[in-house]
Chains A and B, each alone.
Chain A
Amino acid sequence: MKQNRTNAMPWSSDVPQTATPRRWQTAPLSRRCILASASAGFGLFAFRALAGAEGPLPRHHHPGRAKNIIFCFMDGGPSHVDTFDPKPALKTHQGKPIGESAVTKRSQSSANRVWLGSPWEFRQRGQSGLWVSDLFPHLAGVADKLCVVRSMVGELPLHGQQNLLLHTGRILGQAPSLGAWVSYGLGTESRDLPGYVVLNNDWVPNGGLENFGSSFLPASHQATQIRARGIPVDNLAPAAGLAAQQRTLAKLAAQDREFAGLVSDPAAIEGAIANYETAWRMQSAVPAIADIGGEPEHIKKLYGVDSTDEHQRFYATQALRARRLVEAGVRFVEITCPSFDGNNSPWDQHGQIKKNHEKNALITEQSVAALIIDLEQRGLLDETIVLWAGEMGRTPHTPKVSDTCGRDHHVNGYSIFLAGGGFRGGFAYGQTDEFGNAAVENPLDIHDIHATLLHQLGLDHEALTFRHGGRDHRLTDVHGRVIREILA
């Protein structure tokens, strides 16, 4: 991690000049050579220092139990009463009106809607006996690792607001994403990789790309997006080939230093020059990490990379990449769900909940379970938190029971889970009422989860601040508390 300038790139003017200095001539670099040099110098300097005078990193406030977070974002809102929150009463009362007392503004509700039982059976799993429905056979297999929170309460049953709340702690957004805060708080352990990566497929979630943004934090903390198909990262493929690019960069080094001598602020120009050095490394480092070709077959199979379903393959690839990224030192990796039917958001089953929740489960749940298994067998689960959460749950009721009916938006008590990273496995925290319609015990909001996640990383959510617009801002704004009961 030393910032050793003698390891500067070959076009740098720091390179000892030869007898014929005006031409920098060499055979084109091989990919291997580039990879070797890519691990040799400036990335860390660039990623950390160019972001501004941020002080030493990480900014631990106390020893952290975990180092990384993998956030499996279940965009659209999986139904809690069909996954982790069993409610037999919904079956016995199916078709009966919910009545005025069950109506809440945190739910798309009205008195004449009717209760809807779950189409899936619930069973107790593992040693712990944690309830998981048959919708998630693979996650059921790792039930003893899951810390389910069944009492999440949001603000309004709307995707855009809840997405922004989940990501930025504000229903209006205009604040950095959780991943950006983690990157800001801990920095990246990797020289050539950013601190926050979103494994995505050009999907823009409700609320917009702001969900992945750095807002007022330095721009280096915003998410770098890696695609499952096509070019993995924008602008990483050398436009003119590496050799040609290298020649151009050598010329630019000289050109830019001449310019730097003429300007009032040479530091800005020097910074921009240094960016080219980092960018050069990223061109190789990021694709190398994203390439899962070298993973053993049994691992690929574990994740489901061999699936016949295209979307499951995408998700499995992304989950496997997530593990590779945290191994390489990326602090926060987020995986989005592929949209398989062009719906506004993947888990948003206002209709056809049976068919399409099954489809979403097929796409995602094997890979998430595999991630937990794989992290554990590598000894990484202790230091890696797997967060599985949508922005909302779904109503335990529906306008009319039918084969194609669905469930609507619900933030008045829904389920998420955390695994690894010091969270208490095989455990369910909080309770909803007998219909799963309202959190009645230990209600938590997303600020509490944010605070607890930061706590596990060694960060105090009240102390991790950034001054902007004359005020110290934090992820949890004025809310949040660390929930010790869900920690092991």
Chain B
Amino acid sequence: MKGSSAVAAWLLAASVAGADEFFLEKIEPLLKQRCYECHSHAGKIKGGLVLDSKSGWERGGESGPAIVPGKPEASLLIQAISHAQKDLRMPPKKMLPAAEIALLTVWVRRGAPDPRTGSPDAAPLQTDDAWEAEYHKRLDWWSLKPMRRNDPPSIADPLWSREPVDRFIKAALDDAGLSPAPPADDSALRRRLSYVLTGLPPSFHGDDHLSYESLVGKMLASPHFGERFARHWMDVVRYTDTYGYEWDNPAKGSHEYRDYLIRAFNDDIGYDQLLREHLAGDLLPEPRIHPVTATNESLIGPMFYHLGEHRHGSSLMFNGIHQEMVNNKIDAFSKAFLATTVACARCHDHKLEAVSQRDYYALAAMFTTPRWTARVVDAPGKNDAAIAKLKELRDAIRGEMAAQWTRRGAFQAPELKQWAAANAPALKGIGAPLATPDDLPKLAEKWQRLRAAAQKANAAFAPASLDGWVFEGDGFTHGKTKDSTPLIALEGDAIIARLLPDGWHSHALSSKLPGSLRTPPQHQMTGSHLSVQVAGGEFGGHLVVDDHAFQNETVAFYTNGEPAWRSFADAVLKNGAQQVAIEFCTAPLNPNFPPRTGLAKGLDNRDFGHDKRSWLSITGIVTHDTAGSPQDELDAFTGLYDSTHSTTDPWQRIAAWFSGAVARWCDGRPAPGDREVIDWLLSTGLLPNRAEPGTQLADLVADYRDTEASIAFPRTANSMDERQTQPARYPLNVRGNVDVTGDLIPPASLRMLPGRDAADRLALAESLLAPGHPVTARVYVNRVWQWIFGTGLVATPDDFGRLGGQPSHPELLDWLATEFVREGWSTKSLVRRLVLSQTFRQSGQVSPAAREKDPSNRLLHHHPTRRLEAEAIRDSLLAVSGRLDLRLYGRPVLPHRLAEDDKKRLLSGPIDGNGRRSLYLQMSIMEPPKFLVGFNLPDLKLPTGRRDVTNVPAQALILMNDPFVNAMAEHWGAEVAAGTGSDEEKLREMILRAFGREATEAEMERWLDREEPSSRAASKRDWAAVAHGLFNAKEFIYFR
């Protein structure tokens, strides 16, 4: 069919006399009919392309010229109308008839003759100018305008005049002719306060005798305040413990970030500091160290970027994956801190906001400049004392060993001859000459030949300059050793495990110390190849990192104790990647350890990789231009084969060789190769390597081992490392298409905000904190308002733009934001102000007038009844039943699952999560905790400033039948049954605990009523049934 139409079109074309006529008769009408609607000055100008003039298609649109005369297959226009590519189909909805496509194809093949000379619009289309005008129009928007300092209005009511917040609220109510609700009753208010500030029921706190003001102080000081507010913020930054997608890999150190938030809210760290740390904690000249936990808090902040979903592979493997992840980072940043939807500008200038596509890619450049890698978040110097002591002890042990070996005296020929005869299997490697002593002259010749060849070959390898290389972790910073430094064995009878060659050894003092060595991008190093001599074990290895990829699966784990060369040829950059670098790291500093199951051989699928010893040695780094790697120059045999020996007796020569090596080591002047000789002597037992009990040496070794044992495993988290990096330039993706790249965009902030020139993340953070910034404080204050009142002054906390809501009380929002900054960005001060307000203390009574005039309560004429969040429901079940474990912090607790899938690490935990609060449950993107999902735990991939509250039957089924709820009822029932007091007293106490108020008589009758005759004392089962009933009361999951 298609073939015949094409032929028909050819005939048609041939029958037209001139090329111009062909265009005017056949092509122009077609363009007018099919294309002008969207691609002409009379219609729209989509994609910047006009077809109403020759110059229009010559210049083309955003994707370049539309037609290559003579080459239909290379012409975008023909590709588009053929619907050959999925994302370039014109007309988008319905394909043109085959005959028309054929006609246009013929026209292009004939050179696209087009007699139109002028252009309907003489001025060339200036899309930049059009954007410029639009941009300035869009700046006229409330959230971009400077904050105004408003004095709180004066109102008549003295009670409502005390707190400025109340004056703003009351004035607006007065204007609307409405009155506030009467104050809430005491028990309702205390319950409300308890949930709002701590997410726990009031009975948990006790102290019903405290005044309200004192209770506020007490709850603000409670460590559970930090848990509650951390969880709020975790929604905003899309907190997750895993990376989802196909393998749900653990997000390294996510819990460190969660605990960092808890500490920060409890310590009332200013929001300005938190913002700085989130965006650029790694760049702060003075990191914030938590004094009690010895944590480098600032370095944890950038884990914020790593949250969300990560894909697999790398940018070089599948183009598009990396860009999607970048989009998620930009989305999270702009929504969380700016309530702006910058991610919409990935494919085109924003449809509604003053955000251009270049703005988007400028942020992409800024965020992809640093290495996205793991950092040690222990306070710097945490292990210094132990490390210094280990070094001293190692020196002392070395001294004792040297003395012991000196005492042993020189090796004797008969001794070795006799030993060799008895130990034939050991005569390999260094020991090989002992197997054939008569061949020494021949071996010497061979050695000299090989050595010369190796030396010659090695001339091609230049020692690499370490400019731009970055070391991380105590393992490497304290692991640079001189040749033949002893590695002290951490267990067993042997004292020296081996001698270490010159180089970096993360385990030189302790294999708990982490180490990472990060190379500059390959193309910045000299030579086309890099070779590194490495040894390692226990999941020490390297990653090849494409473009600072967030999740990189090109990983190798070393299992060689003897150093071996590994070569890396410069990668071919493709799929838009800008650079490739390599990270050599022990497991704790490997940002993707543990990797997907199966990639780390020997690691059980159920092992999350915490607290692992891991080690890595780097003993040579060279660059070169041809494939291959340096060869062993056989230094170890120099002492045997070189010609300075005075004797020709082979055994004497061997004895002298060994003795010389040991003597030089004892003297502190080892020669190259002595290390291998001594290691062999140690491995064969020819050199003593033990301490007699009670000797000073034994004490030193014991002390060494005790000191090593006292070192804690390192705490690490995925963060940023921008040291020694060059600013990235991110390719603009034309129409968001990753295969069509435009300009390389350098880092910058958003043009519409102050500080557009910010070129790195720290400058970006500081620009957001500049005095009078229109957005930063407003956005955060609005979030806090929502956390207290349920709805923000702006109801869309993540979007202050044109699709978002307008502030209900703009003057109040500005007043609060200004005051918040003035009070040092203190969250607690702000919260205190809000919960002490009369506005907060209102009851939920709604007057008919208020319901009529302001049904959505934007003016706050009452305090709305709210359902508890998922976490608060589960935590209340734990707290009320007495099962709550109050411990703070720690690694995620696996949620209970009915089925496990260990390949994806979807493993099951205890039914009650060990009683831990819900924010400690493992938040797996792939399968989040089901109980919490049932009550609207948000999508873990996306920033969620405000949760949905649904009301569905599945929630009833959970509370009626979930084994966890049942277990809590039984737990509580057993406790009540075992307690003292009458049934009435017990029930009163239960109701008080569950609802935070005294029981009513109707309730007492209702729940004391039992199935069986009441002569029998109530059993555990009876009380469990009551407990289960109270859990299912709506009052349990709502507060008013």
Contacts and interface: CB of A to CB of B under 8 A. Distances in A.
Interface string A254-267: 11101110111100
Contacts of B950: 218-220
Contacts of A262: 844, 1040
Contacts of B953: 46-47, 50, 220, 275-276, 278-279, 282
A290 to B, nearest CB: 15
A209 B927 contact: yes
A342 B605 CA distance: 12
B958 interface: yes
B965 A209 contact: no
Interface residues of B, number: 79
Nearest to B801: A470
B957 interface: yes
Interface in A445-488: 445, 469-471, 478, 481
B952 interface: yes
B643 to A, nearest CB: 52
B660 to A, nearest CB: 54
Interface string A111-131: 000000000000000000000
A281 B111 CA distance: 73
A23 B1009 contact: yes
A160 interface: yes
Contact of A251 (B952, B1000, B1006): B1006
Contacts of B467: none
A127 B1038 CA distance: 64
A238 to B, nearest CB: 6
Chain A interface main SS type: loop
Interface in A235-285: 235-240, 244-245, 247-248, 251-252, 254-256, 258-260, 262-265, 268-269, 271-273, 275-276, 278-279, 282-283
A256 B1006 CA distance: 12
Given A238-B960, A264-B844, A248 B1028 contact: yes
B818 to A, nearest CB: 29
Contacts of A273: 1034
B320 to A, nearest CB: 6
A208 interface: yes
A206 interface: yes
A239 B904 CA distance: 30
A240 B1025 contact: yes
Interface in B953-1012: 953-958, 960-963, 965-966, 1000, 1002-1003, 1005-1007, 1009, 1011
Interface string A331-342: 000000000001
B864 interface: yes
A40 interface: no
A443 to B, nearest CB: 8
A153 interface: yes
A172 B958 CA distance: 29
A344 B246 contact: yes
Contacts of B686: none
B707 interface: no
A264 B941 contact: no
Interface in B662-695: none
Contacts of B844: 262-265
A251 B1002 CA distance: 11
Contact of B867 (A23, A171, A268, A342): A268
Given A260-B1034, A264-B1040, A204 B956 contact: no
Contacts of B92: 478
Contacts of B434: none
Q: How large is the interface on A (under 10, 10 to 19, 20 to 34, 35 or more residues)?
A: 35 or more
B961 A342 contact: no
Nearest to B941: A174
A224 B954 CA distance: 9
Nearest to A216: B948
* Top 7 A-B pairs, shortest CB-CB distance: A470-B803, A264-B844, A202-B899, A279-B956, A263-B865, A278-B953, A235-B961
Given A234-B898, A251-B1007, 10 more contacts: A160-B245, A201-B899, A204-B901, A208-B925, A240-B966, A254-B1006, A258-B1003, A264-B845, A470-B799, A481-B94
Interface of B: 86, 92-94, 244-248, 311-313, 318-321, 324, 799, 803-804, 844-846, 857, 862-865, 867, 897-899, 901-904, 906, 925-927, 930, 936, 939, 941-942, 948, 950-958, 960-963, 965-966, 1000, 1002-1003, 1005-1007, 1009, 1011, 1025, 1028-1029, 1032-1035, 1037-1038, 1040
30 contacts: A22-B1005, A22-B1006, A156-B320, A158-B246, A173-B941, A174-B941, A203-B901, A207-B246, A208-B244, A219-B948, A219-B950, A235-B954, A238-B960, A239-B965, A254-B1006, A255-B1033, A256-B1035, A259-B1035, A264-B844, A264-B857, A268-B867, A268-B1038, A269-B1034, A272-B1034, A275-B951, A276-B953, A276-B960, A276-B1032, A279-B957, A481-B94
